[in-house]
Amino acid sequence: MLRTGHKETESHDSNNQKVYPQPIDETVNQNKESMDALILKIFNNISSLKAAYIELQNAHTPYDPDKIQAADKLVIEELMKLSELKHSYRDKNPKLTSASPKDSRLLAEIQEQQNLLKTYEVMVKKFQSQIQTRDTEIVELQKQIQESSQRKLKLEKKLKQRGLLPKESEAFEEENNFFSIELTPNLFSSAVDSAYKSIHDFSKPLINMMKTAGWDLDAAANAIEPGVLYAKRAHKKYAFESHICQKMFSGFQEESFSMEPSNLSVSDEGFFHQFLAIRAMDPLDILSQNPDSVFGKFSRKKYLLVVHPKMEASFFGNLDQRNYVMSGGHPRTPFYQAFLKLAKSIWLLHRLAFSFDPKGKVFQVKQGTEFSEVYMESVVKNIILEEGDSRPKVGLMVMPGFMIGGSVIQSLVYLSGVRCAE
């Protein structure tokens, strides 16, 4: 009876427990499917890693830093995916060992990160070595290019001196220069310097021809700008430079440069292309191609303004050259060719000023204006200003000033009544 009662009690206790039977076959199948999916992911990941590594190798031949960086990033991403798969497997399949599971897993992760770090370090060293090699090659090639360019320039100079340089080479060189010039305030500043140099250069033959023709240069200088007190007699040359400047820059602020305006408007880019097109050309060559171009008309108009008929008659004994210019021609005399260089430099400066957005602005300084170091520069460098003296006044403006994109290019002035160091 006792045995039977005990069994009944056990049976009764068992019946009180809630039992949920597990479908063993279904669980095994799920684990198998999960493992198959994991293996498939691993194979896919390895395939992607191989493809990324091939891309990394291809990026080195030819050497492309952007492709190398993109391929390197892709390799690292695939390695990280592989690491994530490993972590996922460990999380779902923990191993029971005598050691602490937490410690074992932590050690495994550390080892994995160290292996990854070693891989990255090897790749970084490899890339650094390749970059250093490429940099060395680039420096060496740059030196070779520089040496070749210097040898080329020397050879071209010798060929030009002997008249053996073909026209095609000169045209090719000009075409290269055409596309290498950028529109900057520094370019405009250089053009301003060239324009003043051309004024100075043309004033020399003008003054010499006046001397030869018997002109009274003192009286002529005083007639141009009366009341100027010159520190030295030689400084009266600036009066003639001022005369040339005033005539050549008349109408500069207008887009048409005081020429008959065309119905066609010219864009900023159009003005810059005009500048580039003729900057390297001889002005007489420009006019031989098209005597009645806008530049041709500009040159004729300014010549008639700068060179007075009485002056020209005293130079040449007649007005034949003037009449030829008025009839639409461009004489090939040395005097007119010297003037064309002046006309071209002022024309180029105008084209360049209207290439900017906003347009370059010209400003002039009148006689008697108080000297300003911000907007003016003395054409004579060794002036003496005593402490307590009143600020000097402008006697002549020999070159106007300009404003380009917030920058000021000072006007050149001759200061009246100041002393100069010997």
Question: Residue 4 CB: number of other CB atoms within 10 A?
Answer: 8
Residues 83-134 have pLDDT tens digits of: 787 777 766 665 544 445 556 666 666 766 766 776 777 777 777 777 878 7
The identity of residue 18, as a single letter, is: K
Q: How far apart are CA 194 and CA 412, in angstroms?
A: 13
> Rounded to an integer, what distance in angstroms lies between the CA atom of residue 98 and that of residue 92?
19
Which residues touch 258 (CB under 8 Å, ≥6 apart)? Answer: 250, 251, 301
Mean local confidence (pLDDT), 304-313: 95
Which pair of structure tokens corresponds to residue 46? Answer: 């390895």
Distance CA 84, CA 392 (A): 82
Residue 301 in tokens: 């108009």
Q: pLDDT by residue (tens digit) across 40-57? A: 777 777 777 777 777 777
Q: How far apart are CA 209 and CA 131, in angstroms?
A: 66
Task: Note the pLDDT of residue 59.
Answer: 72
Percent of the chain whose pLDDT exceeds 90 = 45
pTM score, two decimals?
A: 0.58
Structure tokens at 132: 């250093």
> For residue 9, what pLDDT is reported?
45
Q: Are 381 and 221 in contact (CB under 8 A)?
A: no
Highest mean predicted confidence (pLDDT) among 29-43, 94-108, 319-333? 319-333
pLDDT tens, 126-158? 777 778 787 788 878 877 887 777 777 777 766
Omega of the bond leading into 358 within 30 degrees of 0 (cis): yes
Lowest-pLDDT range of 80-84, 288-292, 294-298, 414-418: 80-84
How high is the mean pLDDT of the chain?
Answer: 81
